[in-house]
Chains A and B, each alone.
Chain A
Amino acid sequence: MSGPKTDFLSKLGSRLVIGLPMFWLLLFFLVPFLVVLQVSLADLRLAQPPFTPIFEWLDGIPSYVGDLENYEFLFSDDLYIRSYLNSVKIAFISSLACLIVGYPIAYVIARADDALRNTLLLLVILPFWTSSLLRIYALIGMYSPTGFINSWLISFGLISEPIQLMQTDFAVYSGIVITYLPLMVLPLYAALQKLDEDLLEASADLGAGPLKTFWQVTLPLSLPGILAGCLLVFIPAVGEYIIPALLGGSGQLMIGKTLWTEFFNNRDWPLASAVAMVMLAVLVIPMMLLRNAQSQEGRS
Protein backbone atom coordinates (compact mmCIF):
# COMPACT_ATOMS: atom_id res chain seq x y z
CA MET A 1 0.00 0.00 0.00
CA SER A 2 2.73 2.45 0.86
CA GLY A 3 3.93 3.45 -2.56
CA PRO A 4 6.99 5.64 -3.00
CA LYS A 5 4.72 8.64 -3.55
CA THR A 6 2.96 8.49 -0.14
CA ASP A 7 6.26 7.77 1.59
CA PHE A 8 7.67 10.88 0.02
CA LEU A 9 4.62 12.86 1.16
CA SER A 10 4.81 11.66 4.74
CA LYS A 11 8.57 12.27 4.91
CA LEU A 12 8.11 15.76 3.52
CA GLY A 13 5.31 16.24 6.05
CA SER A 14 7.45 15.41 9.07
CA ARG A 15 10.29 17.54 7.71
CA LEU A 16 7.89 20.50 7.52
CA VAL A 17 6.34 19.77 10.93
CA ILE A 18 9.81 19.88 12.50
CA GLY A 19 11.43 22.41 10.19
CA LEU A 20 8.93 25.28 10.26
CA PRO A 21 8.79 25.82 14.05
CA MET A 22 12.53 25.05 14.30
CA PHE A 23 13.28 27.83 11.81
CA TRP A 24 10.94 30.24 13.63
CA LEU A 25 12.45 29.53 17.05
CA LEU A 26 16.03 29.70 15.80
CA LEU A 27 15.31 33.08 14.20
CA PHE A 28 13.14 34.63 16.93
CA PHE A 29 14.46 32.95 20.06
CA LEU A 30 18.06 31.79 19.70
CA VAL A 31 19.53 34.34 17.26
CA PRO A 32 18.25 37.30 19.38
CA PHE A 33 20.52 36.16 22.24
CA LEU A 34 23.50 36.22 19.91
CA VAL A 35 22.52 39.76 18.92
CA VAL A 36 22.30 40.75 22.60
CA LEU A 37 25.74 39.20 23.18
CA GLN A 38 27.10 41.13 20.21
CA VAL A 39 25.63 44.46 21.38
CA SER A 40 26.92 43.86 24.92
CA LEU A 41 30.45 43.77 23.50
CA ALA A 42 29.96 47.02 21.58
CA ASP A 43 30.29 50.63 22.74
CA LEU A 44 27.67 53.34 23.09
CA ARG A 45 27.58 55.95 20.32
CA LEU A 46 25.24 58.77 19.38
CA ALA A 47 23.85 57.35 16.17
CA GLN A 48 21.19 55.04 14.84
CA PRO A 49 21.55 52.28 16.01
CA PRO A 50 23.12 53.63 19.22
CA PHE A 51 26.01 51.12 19.38
CA THR A 52 29.22 50.51 17.46
CA PRO A 53 29.78 47.41 15.30
CA ILE A 54 32.04 44.78 16.88
CA PHE A 55 33.51 43.70 13.53
CA GLU A 56 35.26 46.22 11.30
CA TRP A 57 37.22 46.03 8.07
CA LEU A 58 40.83 46.70 9.03
CA ASP A 59 43.30 46.53 6.11
CA GLY A 60 40.79 44.55 4.08
CA ILE A 61 40.19 41.81 6.68
CA PRO A 62 37.24 41.69 9.06
CA SER A 63 38.55 42.15 12.60
CA TYR A 64 36.96 41.83 16.01
CA VAL A 65 36.90 45.22 17.75
CA GLY A 66 34.47 44.44 20.59
CA ASP A 67 35.55 44.63 24.21
CA LEU A 68 34.41 43.70 27.70
CA GLU A 69 34.16 47.32 28.89
CA ASN A 70 30.43 47.04 29.68
CA TYR A 71 31.00 43.97 31.83
CA GLU A 72 33.95 45.60 33.60
CA PHE A 73 31.72 48.58 34.32
CA LEU A 74 28.94 46.31 35.69
CA PHE A 75 31.30 44.72 38.17
CA SER A 76 33.04 47.94 39.19
CA ASP A 77 29.86 49.91 39.97
CA ASP A 78 28.15 48.44 43.02
CA LEU A 79 24.74 49.69 41.81
CA TYR A 80 24.55 46.68 39.50
CA ILE A 81 25.94 44.13 41.95
CA ARG A 82 23.48 45.31 44.58
CA SER A 83 20.66 45.12 42.02
CA TYR A 84 21.48 41.48 41.27
CA LEU A 85 21.87 40.51 44.93
CA ASN A 86 18.70 42.35 45.95
CA SER A 87 16.70 40.73 43.12
CA VAL A 88 17.86 37.28 44.17
CA LYS A 89 17.01 38.08 47.81
CA ILE A 90 13.54 39.42 46.98
CA ALA A 91 12.81 36.51 44.62
CA PHE A 92 13.97 34.01 47.25
CA ILE A 93 11.86 35.47 50.07
CA SER A 94 8.86 35.78 47.74
CA SER A 95 9.21 32.12 46.70
CA LEU A 96 9.21 31.09 50.36
CA ALA A 97 6.17 33.30 51.05
CA CYS A 98 4.42 31.77 48.03
CA LEU A 99 5.22 28.28 49.32
CA ILE A 100 3.83 29.07 52.79
CA VAL A 101 0.62 30.52 51.30
CA GLY A 102 0.35 27.95 48.51
CA TYR A 103 1.01 24.69 50.37
CA PRO A 104 -2.20 24.71 52.47
CA ILE A 105 -4.22 25.58 49.33
CA ALA A 106 -2.67 22.69 47.36
CA TYR A 107 -3.16 20.36 50.34
CA VAL A 108 -6.84 21.24 50.72
CA ILE A 109 -7.45 20.84 46.97
CA ALA A 110 -5.69 17.47 46.83
CA ARG A 111 -7.74 16.13 49.77
CA ALA A 112 -11.12 17.56 48.67
CA ASP A 113 -13.82 15.38 47.08
CA ASP A 114 -14.17 15.44 43.29
CA ALA A 115 -16.81 18.16 42.81
CA LEU A 116 -15.24 20.58 45.29
CA ARG A 117 -11.73 19.88 43.99
CA ASN A 118 -12.65 21.04 40.50
CA THR A 119 -14.08 24.32 41.80
CA LEU A 120 -11.14 25.01 44.14
CA LEU A 121 -8.69 24.31 41.34
CA LEU A 122 -10.61 26.61 39.01
CA LEU A 123 -10.42 29.40 41.60
CA VAL A 124 -6.62 29.09 41.63
CA ILE A 125 -6.31 29.00 37.82
CA LEU A 126 -8.76 31.85 37.17
CA PRO A 127 -6.41 34.68 38.32
CA PHE A 128 -3.71 33.28 36.00
CA TRP A 129 -6.03 34.12 33.07
CA THR A 130 -6.59 37.69 34.24
CA SER A 131 -4.13 40.50 33.63
CA SER A 132 -1.37 40.61 36.25
CA LEU A 133 -1.11 44.37 35.68
CA LEU A 134 -4.72 44.76 36.83
CA ARG A 135 -4.15 42.54 39.86
CA ILE A 136 -1.21 44.74 40.86
CA TYR A 137 -3.43 47.77 40.26
CA ALA A 138 -6.03 46.29 42.61
CA LEU A 139 -3.30 45.80 45.23
CA ILE A 140 -2.32 49.48 44.97
CA GLY A 141 -5.96 50.24 45.87
CA MET A 142 -5.46 48.24 49.06
CA TYR A 143 -2.04 49.62 50.04
CA SER A 144 -1.95 53.31 49.08
CA PRO A 145 -1.95 55.88 51.95
CA THR A 146 -5.62 56.64 51.19
CA GLY A 147 -6.23 53.00 50.28
CA PHE A 148 -8.68 50.56 51.80
CA ILE A 149 -6.43 49.05 54.45
CA ASN A 150 -5.39 52.44 55.80
CA SER A 151 -8.88 53.94 55.69
CA TRP A 152 -10.37 50.91 57.48
CA LEU A 153 -7.69 50.89 60.14
CA ILE A 154 -8.25 54.62 60.72
CA SER A 155 -12.05 54.30 60.79
CA PHE A 156 -11.77 51.51 63.38
CA GLY A 157 -9.50 53.77 65.41
CA LEU A 158 -6.56 51.35 65.34
CA ILE A 159 -4.17 53.94 63.85
CA SER A 160 -4.39 57.71 63.58
CA GLU A 161 -1.93 58.25 60.71
CA PRO A 162 -1.79 56.11 57.55
CA ILE A 163 0.99 53.52 57.71
CA GLN A 164 3.46 53.24 54.85
CA LEU A 165 2.51 50.12 52.86
CA MET A 166 3.35 51.24 49.32
CA GLN A 167 6.95 51.54 48.15
CA THR A 168 8.13 48.94 50.63
CA ASP A 169 9.73 45.51 50.25
CA PHE A 170 6.58 44.07 51.80
CA ALA A 171 4.47 45.52 48.95
CA VAL A 172 6.80 43.90 46.39
CA TYR A 173 6.70 40.52 48.19
CA SER A 174 2.91 40.52 48.29
CA GLY A 175 2.76 41.63 44.65
CA ILE A 176 4.92 38.68 43.61
CA VAL A 177 2.88 36.31 45.79
CA ILE A 178 -0.50 37.25 44.28
CA THR A 179 0.94 37.24 40.74
CA TYR A 180 2.72 33.88 40.87
CA LEU A 181 0.64 31.93 43.43
CA PRO A 182 -1.06 29.80 40.71
CA LEU A 183 2.38 28.69 39.42
CA MET A 184 3.25 27.52 42.96
CA VAL A 185 -0.04 25.75 43.73
CA LEU A 186 -0.32 23.69 40.53
CA PRO A 187 2.94 21.64 40.85
CA LEU A 188 2.34 21.28 44.62
CA TYR A 189 -1.16 19.97 43.92
CA ALA A 190 0.20 17.55 41.29
CA ALA A 191 2.71 16.17 43.81
CA LEU A 192 0.24 15.95 46.72
CA GLN A 193 -2.46 14.34 44.58
CA LYS A 194 -0.15 11.45 43.70
CA LEU A 195 0.45 10.82 47.39
CA ASP A 196 -1.04 7.47 48.36
CA GLU A 197 -3.48 7.84 51.26
CA ASP A 198 -2.53 4.32 52.40
CA LEU A 199 0.92 5.66 53.30
CA LEU A 200 -0.66 8.21 55.63
CA GLU A 201 -2.83 5.53 57.22
CA ALA A 202 0.16 3.22 57.59
CA SER A 203 2.07 5.99 59.29
CA ALA A 204 -0.83 6.58 61.69
CA ASP A 205 -1.20 2.84 62.35
CA LEU A 206 2.48 2.68 63.28
CA GLY A 207 1.82 5.30 65.94
CA ALA A 208 3.02 8.50 64.30
CA GLY A 209 1.02 11.59 65.20
CA PRO A 210 -0.43 13.78 62.44
CA LEU A 211 2.42 16.29 62.73
CA LYS A 212 5.06 13.57 62.53
CA THR A 213 3.29 12.01 59.54
CA PHE A 214 3.34 15.37 57.83
CA TRP A 215 7.07 15.93 58.48
CA GLN A 216 8.21 12.40 57.69
CA VAL A 217 5.81 11.29 54.94
CA THR A 218 3.81 14.08 53.27
CA LEU A 219 6.50 16.76 53.13
CA PRO A 220 9.37 14.58 51.79
CA LEU A 221 7.11 13.02 49.14
CA SER A 222 5.96 16.44 47.94
CA LEU A 223 9.54 17.76 47.64
CA PRO A 224 9.60 17.55 43.79
CA GLY A 225 6.47 19.73 43.68
CA ILE A 226 7.99 22.17 46.19
CA LEU A 227 11.15 22.47 44.11
CA ALA A 228 9.27 22.96 40.82
CA GLY A 229 6.87 25.50 42.36
CA CYS A 230 9.65 27.54 44.02
CA LEU A 231 11.66 27.67 40.78
CA LEU A 232 8.60 28.67 38.74
CA VAL A 233 8.17 31.63 41.09
CA PHE A 234 11.86 32.43 41.65
CA ILE A 235 12.98 32.62 38.00
CA PRO A 236 10.48 35.19 36.68
CA ALA A 237 10.58 37.09 39.99
CA VAL A 238 14.32 37.80 39.60
CA GLY A 239 13.75 39.68 36.33
CA GLU A 240 10.39 41.18 37.31
CA TYR A 241 9.79 44.76 36.17
CA ILE A 242 6.12 45.74 36.65
CA ILE A 243 5.86 44.81 40.35
CA PRO A 244 8.91 46.75 41.65
CA ALA A 245 8.09 49.65 39.29
CA LEU A 246 4.55 50.04 40.66
CA LEU A 247 4.81 48.79 44.25
CA GLY A 248 8.47 49.23 45.20
CA GLY A 249 10.24 52.36 46.36
CA SER A 250 12.48 54.40 44.06
CA GLY A 251 15.53 53.38 46.07
CA GLN A 252 14.72 49.68 45.85
CA LEU A 253 17.06 48.07 43.34
CA MET A 254 15.87 45.18 41.20
CA ILE A 255 17.71 44.06 38.12
CA GLY A 256 14.68 44.10 35.80
CA LYS A 257 14.06 47.73 36.75
CA THR A 258 17.76 48.58 36.32
CA LEU A 259 17.79 47.05 32.82
CA TRP A 260 14.63 48.98 31.92
CA THR A 261 16.15 52.27 33.15
CA GLU A 262 19.42 51.71 31.28
CA PHE A 263 17.50 50.96 28.10
CA PHE A 264 14.60 53.42 28.10
CA ASN A 265 15.87 56.32 30.24
CA ASN A 266 19.65 56.31 29.72
CA ARG A 267 19.37 54.79 26.22
CA ASP A 268 22.57 52.83 26.88
CA TRP A 269 21.78 49.75 24.80
CA PRO A 270 25.20 48.07 25.13
CA LEU A 271 25.10 48.31 28.92
CA ALA A 272 21.47 47.09 29.02
CA SER A 273 22.56 44.10 26.90
CA ALA A 274 25.40 43.31 29.31
CA VAL A 275 22.93 43.51 32.22
CA ALA A 276 20.69 41.02 30.36
CA MET A 277 23.57 38.59 29.66
CA VAL A 278 24.65 38.58 33.32
CA MET A 279 21.01 38.09 34.39
CA LEU A 280 20.83 35.00 32.16
CA ALA A 281 24.07 33.72 33.69
CA VAL A 282 22.54 34.14 37.16
CA LEU A 283 19.41 32.25 36.07
CA VAL A 284 21.06 29.39 34.15
CA ILE A 285 21.40 27.12 37.19
CA PRO A 286 17.79 27.63 38.44
CA MET A 287 16.55 27.08 34.87
CA MET A 288 18.48 23.81 34.55
CA LEU A 289 17.18 22.67 37.94
CA LEU A 290 13.63 23.40 36.80
CA ARG A 291 14.08 21.46 33.56
CA ASN A 292 15.47 18.55 35.54
CA ALA A 293 12.61 18.66 38.05
CA GLN A 294 10.00 18.77 35.28
CA SER A 295 11.49 15.92 33.26
CA GLN A 296 11.65 13.79 36.43
CA GLU A 297 8.01 14.51 37.09
CA GLY A 298 7.19 13.58 33.50
CA ARG A 299 8.94 10.21 33.88
CA SER A 300 7.22 9.12 37.08
Chain B
Amino acid sequence: MGKRHPLILLTAAFGYAILYVPIFIMMIYSFNASRLVTVWGGWSTRWYGELFQNGQIGDAAWVSLVVAFGAAVVGTVFGTLIGYALARIGRFRGRLLLSGMATAPIVMPEVVTGLSLLLLFISMENLIGWPAGRGLTTVIIAHGTFCMAYVAVIIQGRLSDFDTSIEEAAMDLGARQPWIFFQVTLPVIMPAIIAGWLLSFTLSFDDLVIASFVNGPGSSTLPMVIFSKVRLGLTPEINALATIMVAVVAVGVIGANLLARRQVKTQKRLQKS
Protein backbone atom coordinates (compact mmCIF):
# COMPACT_ATOMS: atom_id res chain seq x y z
CA MET B 1 0.00 0.00 0.00
CA GLY B 2 1.26 3.46 -0.86
CA LYS B 3 2.36 6.08 1.58
CA ARG B 4 -1.02 7.77 1.85
CA HIS B 5 -3.45 5.22 0.51
CA PRO B 6 -7.02 6.57 1.02
CA LEU B 7 -8.08 3.30 2.65
CA ILE B 8 -5.38 3.67 5.34
CA LEU B 9 -6.29 7.31 5.96
CA LEU B 10 -9.96 6.37 6.19
CA THR B 11 -9.41 3.56 8.71
CA ALA B 12 -7.10 5.77 10.78
CA ALA B 13 -9.75 8.50 10.79
CA PHE B 14 -12.28 5.89 11.93
CA GLY B 15 -9.97 4.99 14.82
CA TYR B 16 -9.71 8.61 15.94
CA ALA B 17 -13.49 8.95 15.56
CA ILE B 18 -14.28 6.12 17.96
CA LEU B 19 -11.94 7.71 20.51
CA TYR B 20 -13.46 11.16 20.29
CA VAL B 21 -17.07 11.08 18.98
CA PRO B 22 -18.67 9.67 22.19
CA ILE B 23 -16.85 12.23 24.33
CA PHE B 24 -17.77 15.17 22.07
CA ILE B 25 -21.43 14.17 22.05
CA MET B 26 -21.39 13.84 25.83
CA MET B 27 -19.83 17.31 26.13
CA ILE B 28 -22.44 18.88 23.84
CA TYR B 29 -25.31 17.22 25.72
CA SER B 30 -23.98 18.51 29.05
CA PHE B 31 -25.37 21.87 27.87
CA ASN B 32 -28.77 20.32 27.23
CA ALA B 33 -31.72 21.96 29.00
CA SER B 34 -33.77 18.76 29.10
CA ARG B 35 -33.55 16.33 32.03
CA LEU B 36 -33.78 13.49 29.50
CA VAL B 37 -30.13 12.95 28.65
CA THR B 38 -30.66 12.01 25.01
CA VAL B 39 -33.45 14.41 24.02
CA TRP B 40 -32.24 17.85 22.98
CA GLY B 41 -34.17 20.62 24.75
CA GLY B 42 -32.11 23.70 23.90
CA TRP B 43 -28.88 25.16 25.32
CA SER B 44 -28.53 25.64 29.06
CA THR B 45 -25.88 25.64 31.78
CA ARG B 46 -28.43 24.43 34.33
CA TRP B 47 -26.64 21.13 35.11
CA TYR B 48 -23.39 22.89 35.90
CA GLY B 49 -25.26 24.92 38.50
CA GLU B 50 -26.84 21.79 40.02
CA LEU B 51 -23.46 20.03 39.95
CA PHE B 52 -21.82 22.72 42.09
CA GLN B 53 -24.65 22.49 44.62
CA ASN B 54 -24.27 18.71 44.94
CA GLY B 55 -22.52 18.25 48.29
CA GLN B 56 -21.81 14.54 47.81
CA ILE B 57 -19.91 15.16 44.57
CA GLY B 58 -18.09 18.14 46.11
CA ASP B 59 -16.93 16.08 49.13
CA ALA B 60 -15.83 13.19 46.93
CA ALA B 61 -13.93 15.55 44.63
CA TRP B 62 -12.04 16.96 47.63
CA VAL B 63 -11.17 13.42 48.86
CA SER B 64 -9.93 12.52 45.37
CA LEU B 65 -7.79 15.66 45.15
CA VAL B 66 -6.15 14.96 48.52
CA VAL B 67 -5.53 11.30 47.66
CA ALA B 68 -4.17 12.12 44.19
CA PHE B 69 -1.83 14.76 45.62
CA GLY B 70 -0.47 12.38 48.27
CA ALA B 71 -0.17 9.43 45.90
CA ALA B 72 1.60 11.58 43.30
CA VAL B 73 4.18 12.75 45.88
CA VAL B 74 4.82 9.19 47.13
CA GLY B 75 4.92 7.82 43.59
CA THR B 76 7.24 10.54 42.29
CA VAL B 77 9.78 10.38 45.15
CA PHE B 78 10.08 6.58 45.16
CA GLY B 79 9.71 6.26 41.39
CA THR B 80 12.58 8.72 40.88
CA LEU B 81 14.76 6.73 43.29
CA ILE B 82 13.98 3.49 41.42
CA GLY B 83 14.58 5.05 37.99
CA TYR B 84 17.89 6.52 39.22
CA ALA B 85 19.01 3.23 40.80
CA LEU B 86 18.23 1.22 37.65
CA ALA B 87 19.82 3.72 35.24
CA ARG B 88 22.85 4.92 37.22
CA ILE B 89 23.87 2.43 39.93
CA GLY B 90 25.11 -0.31 37.59
CA ARG B 91 25.17 -3.70 39.28
CA PHE B 92 23.76 -4.23 42.72
CA ARG B 93 22.25 -7.09 44.65
CA GLY B 94 18.51 -7.35 44.08
CA ARG B 95 18.58 -5.38 40.82
CA LEU B 96 16.45 -7.96 39.01
CA LEU B 97 13.99 -8.09 41.92
CA LEU B 98 13.71 -4.28 42.03
CA SER B 99 13.21 -3.88 38.28
CA GLY B 100 10.66 -6.71 38.27
CA MET B 101 8.68 -5.30 41.19
CA ALA B 102 8.87 -1.80 39.71
CA THR B 103 7.30 -2.74 36.37
CA ALA B 104 4.86 -5.48 37.42
CA PRO B 105 2.23 -3.14 38.99
CA ILE B 106 1.63 -1.61 35.53
CA VAL B 107 0.30 -4.86 34.05
CA MET B 108 -1.20 -6.33 37.23
CA PRO B 109 -5.02 -6.62 36.99
CA GLU B 110 -6.52 -3.95 39.22
CA VAL B 111 -8.84 -6.37 41.03
CA VAL B 112 -5.81 -8.44 42.12
CA THR B 113 -3.84 -5.38 43.29
CA GLY B 114 -6.84 -4.08 45.21
CA LEU B 115 -7.67 -7.39 46.87
CA SER B 116 -4.05 -8.16 47.82
CA LEU B 117 -3.45 -4.73 49.38
CA LEU B 118 -6.69 -4.86 51.35
CA LEU B 119 -5.78 -8.27 52.77
CA LEU B 120 -2.31 -6.93 53.63
CA PHE B 121 -3.73 -3.89 55.44
CA ILE B 122 -6.10 -6.10 57.45
CA SER B 123 -3.31 -8.53 58.37
CA MET B 124 -1.03 -5.66 59.37
CA GLU B 125 -3.76 -4.13 61.50
CA ASN B 126 -4.23 -7.45 63.31
CA LEU B 127 -0.48 -7.88 63.80
CA ILE B 128 0.83 -4.41 64.65
CA GLY B 129 -2.29 -2.26 64.91
CA TRP B 130 -1.38 -0.11 61.89
CA PRO B 131 -3.04 1.08 59.69
CA ALA B 132 -6.01 1.48 62.06
CA GLY B 133 -8.98 1.03 59.76
CA ARG B 134 -9.03 2.08 56.14
CA GLY B 135 -9.38 5.47 54.54
CA LEU B 136 -7.22 8.18 52.98
CA THR B 137 -3.89 6.70 54.15
CA THR B 138 -4.50 3.24 52.74
CA VAL B 139 -5.73 4.62 49.39
CA ILE B 140 -2.66 6.90 49.15
CA ILE B 141 -0.33 3.94 49.85
CA ALA B 142 -2.11 1.76 47.28
CA HIS B 143 -2.14 4.44 44.58
CA GLY B 144 1.42 5.56 45.35
CA THR B 145 2.62 2.00 44.78
CA PHE B 146 1.33 1.71 41.21
CA CYS B 147 2.19 5.35 40.43
CA MET B 148 5.87 4.77 41.30
CA ALA B 149 6.01 2.08 38.63
CA TYR B 150 5.02 4.60 35.92
CA VAL B 151 7.38 7.27 37.28
CA ALA B 152 10.27 4.78 37.43
CA VAL B 153 9.77 3.94 33.73
CA ILE B 154 9.70 7.65 32.77
CA ILE B 155 12.79 8.56 34.86
CA GLN B 156 14.80 5.53 33.74
CA GLY B 157 14.00 6.40 30.11
CA ARG B 158 15.05 10.03 30.59
CA LEU B 159 18.29 9.09 32.37
CA SER B 160 19.33 6.59 29.72
CA ASP B 161 18.72 9.27 27.07
CA PHE B 162 21.41 11.59 28.39
CA ASP B 163 24.90 10.23 28.90
CA THR B 164 26.89 10.33 32.11
CA SER B 165 29.49 12.82 30.80
CA ILE B 166 28.01 15.83 32.63
CA GLU B 167 27.99 13.93 35.90
CA GLU B 168 31.56 12.73 35.25
CA ALA B 169 32.61 16.31 34.48
CA ALA B 170 31.17 17.41 37.82
CA MET B 171 33.09 14.62 39.52
CA ASP B 172 36.34 15.63 37.78
CA LEU B 173 35.81 19.14 39.12
CA GLY B 174 35.73 17.70 42.62
CA ALA B 175 31.99 17.42 43.25
CA ARG B 176 30.74 14.39 45.17
CA GLN B 177 27.47 12.62 45.70
CA PRO B 178 24.84 13.52 46.75
CA TRP B 179 25.69 17.05 45.49
CA ILE B 180 26.12 15.81 41.93
CA PHE B 181 22.62 14.34 42.07
CA PHE B 182 21.00 17.50 43.44
CA GLN B 183 22.94 20.03 41.35
CA VAL B 184 23.52 18.21 38.06
CA THR B 185 21.24 15.20 37.64
CA LEU B 186 18.07 16.56 39.21
CA PRO B 187 17.81 19.73 37.06
CA VAL B 188 18.26 17.65 33.90
CA ILE B 189 15.51 15.16 34.77
CA MET B 190 13.19 17.80 36.27
CA PRO B 191 10.78 17.87 33.25
CA ALA B 192 10.49 14.06 33.48
CA ILE B 193 9.82 14.29 37.22
CA ILE B 194 7.07 16.87 36.64
CA ALA B 195 5.56 14.70 33.89
CA GLY B 196 5.68 11.70 36.25
CA TRP B 197 4.00 13.65 39.03
CA LEU B 198 1.21 14.81 36.72
CA LEU B 199 0.66 11.31 35.31
CA SER B 200 0.57 9.89 38.86
CA PHE B 201 -1.93 12.54 39.90
CA THR B 202 -4.24 11.70 36.98
CA LEU B 203 -3.93 7.93 37.41
CA SER B 204 -4.77 8.19 41.10
CA PHE B 205 -7.59 10.68 40.51
CA ASP B 206 -9.21 8.33 37.95
CA ASP B 207 -8.81 5.01 39.76
CA LEU B 208 -12.01 3.24 40.78
CA VAL B 209 -11.20 -0.45 41.33
CA ILE B 210 -8.23 -0.28 43.72
CA ALA B 211 -9.84 2.52 45.75
CA SER B 212 -13.05 0.46 46.10
CA PHE B 213 -11.06 -2.32 47.78
CA VAL B 214 -8.77 -0.37 50.12
CA ASN B 215 -11.06 2.54 51.00
CA GLY B 216 -13.01 2.73 54.25
CA PRO B 217 -16.51 4.05 54.83
CA GLY B 218 -17.13 7.79 54.66
CA SER B 219 -14.30 8.73 52.31
CA SER B 220 -15.67 7.82 48.87
CA THR B 221 -13.53 9.07 46.01
CA LEU B 222 -15.02 10.85 43.00
CA PRO B 223 -14.86 7.79 40.66
CA MET B 224 -16.65 5.72 43.33
CA VAL B 225 -19.51 8.26 43.46
CA ILE B 226 -19.63 8.52 39.64
CA PHE B 227 -19.69 4.72 39.32
CA SER B 228 -22.59 4.31 41.74
CA LYS B 229 -24.54 7.01 39.85
CA VAL B 230 -23.72 5.59 36.41
CA ARG B 231 -24.98 2.15 37.44
CA LEU B 232 -28.40 3.73 37.95
CA GLY B 233 -28.37 5.31 34.49
CA LEU B 234 -27.30 8.46 32.70
CA THR B 235 -27.67 11.74 34.57
CA PRO B 236 -27.12 15.22 33.16
CA GLU B 237 -25.00 16.24 36.18
CA ILE B 238 -22.47 13.52 35.37
CA ASN B 239 -22.34 14.85 31.78
CA ALA B 240 -21.44 18.27 33.20
CA LEU B 241 -18.88 16.81 35.62
CA ALA B 242 -17.29 14.67 32.89
CA THR B 243 -17.09 17.69 30.58
CA ILE B 244 -15.22 19.70 33.22
CA MET B 245 -12.79 16.82 33.95
CA VAL B 246 -12.07 16.14 30.29
CA ALA B 247 -11.64 19.87 29.55
CA VAL B 248 -9.15 20.33 32.42
CA VAL B 249 -7.07 17.36 31.28
CA ALA B 250 -7.18 18.44 27.62
CA VAL B 251 -6.06 22.01 28.42
CA GLY B 252 -3.28 20.67 30.67
CA VAL B 253 -1.93 18.09 28.25
CA ILE B 254 -2.12 20.33 25.17
CA GLY B 255 -0.59 23.25 27.10
CA ALA B 256 2.30 21.11 28.36
CA ASN B 257 2.86 19.82 24.82
CA LEU B 258 2.98 23.33 23.32
CA LEU B 259 5.41 24.41 26.04
CA ALA B 260 7.68 21.43 25.38
CA ARG B 261 7.58 22.11 21.62
CA ARG B 262 8.57 25.75 22.15
CA GLN B 263 11.49 24.66 24.33
CA VAL B 264 12.72 22.27 21.67
CA LYS B 265 12.54 25.06 19.07
CA THR B 266 14.51 27.49 21.28
CA GLN B 267 17.13 24.82 21.92
CA LYS B 268 17.48 24.21 18.19
CA ARG B 269 17.83 27.93 17.52
CA LEU B 270 20.49 28.24 20.26
CA GLN B 271 22.42 25.32 18.82
CA LYS B 272 22.41 26.93 15.35
CA SER B 273 23.70 30.31 16.54
Contacts and interface: CB of A to CB of B under 8 A. Distances in A.
Interface stretch (A56-64, A69-77, A78-86, A105-113): A105-113
A232 interface: yes
Contacts of B209: 241-242
B16 A210 contact: no
Interface string B103-121: 1110101111001110110
A299 to B, nearest CB: 12
B230 interface: yes
B259 interface: no
Contact of B14 (A101, A141, A235, A241): A101
Contacts of B111: 239, 241, 256, 259-260, 276, 279
A277 to B, nearest CB: 9
Contact of B245 (A107, A131, A141, A239): A131
Given A25-B145, A138-B242, A17 B120 contact: no
A202 interface: no
B206 interface: yes
Contacts of B123: 35
Specify the main secondary structure of chain B where it touches its partner. helix
Contacts, number: 242
A32 B19 contact: no
A111 B5 CA distance: 11
Given A10-B178, A134-B245, A241-B110, A141 B89 contact: no
Interface string A28-46: 1111110110010000000
Interface residues of B, number: 89
B18 A174 contact: yes
Nearest to A140: B234
Contacts of A280: 112
B246 interface: yes
B25 A148 contact: yes
Interface string A220-236: 00000000000010011
Contacts of A147: 38
A118 B256 CA distance: 13
The 10 A-B residue pairs whose C-beta atoms are closest, nearest first, are A239-B109, A32-B116, A138-B22, A104-B11, A131-B206, A10-B177, A32-B120, A25-B101, A138-B26, A108-B12
Interface of B: 1-5, 8-9, 11-12, 14-16, 18-23, 25-26, 29, 36-38, 78-79, 81-82, 84-85, 89, 92, 94, 97-98, 100-105, 107, 109-112, 115-117, 119-120, 122-123, 126, 141-142, 145, 148, 174, 176-178, 181, 199, 202, 205-206, 208-209, 212-213, 223, 226-227, 230-231, 234, 238-239, 242, 245-246, 249-250, 252-254, 257, 261
25 contacts: A13-B178, A14-B92, A17-B81, A21-B102, A25-B102, A104-B8, A104-B12, A107-B8, A111-B4, A118-B261, A129-B199, A129-B249, A130-B245, A135-B23, A141-B26, A146-B37, A147-B38, A148-B38, A232-B107, A235-B107, A239-B109, A239-B111, A242-B209, A260-B111, A264-B212
